[in-house]
């Protein structure tokens, strides 16, 4: 079994908030409003694929 590379690792809500430079509650607010990158439920946790975050950011840039 190989170990996951950093780019394969799923991000936590805290990781996403740190990356975007926003407070954690903002991530949860966005999620409740169906805004923001696609999040995956893994058990009781929400996780984000870095590639999904980048796609969301690209879409925002194109929409601007």
Per-residue pLDDT reduced to its tens digit, 4-26 = 555 679 999 999 999 999 999 99
The torsion region of residue 59 among left (phi > 0), alpha (psi -120 to 50) and beta comes to alpha
Cα 32 from Cα 27, distance rounded (Å): 9
In a domain, 4, yes or no: no
In a domain, 5, yes or no: no
Contact present, 2 and 9 (Cβ < 8 Å): no
pLDDT digits (tens, 9 = 90+) for 50-62: 999 999 999 999 9
Containing domain of residue 57, as a range? 13-63
pLDDT digits (tens, 9 = 90+) for 21-46: 999 999 999 999 999 999 999 999 99
Its pTM stands at: 0.84
Q: 45: which strand partners?
A: 42
Q: Number of structural domains, the chain? A: 1
């Amino acid at each position: 079994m190989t170990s996951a590379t950093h780019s394969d690792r799923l991000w936590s809500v805290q990781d996403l908030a740190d990356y975007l430079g926003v407070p954690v509650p903002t991530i949860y607010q966005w999620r409740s409003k169906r805004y923001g990158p696609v999040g995956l439920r893994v058990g009781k946790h929400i996780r984000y694929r870095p590639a999904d975050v980048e796609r969301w950011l690209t879409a925002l840039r194109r929409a601007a």
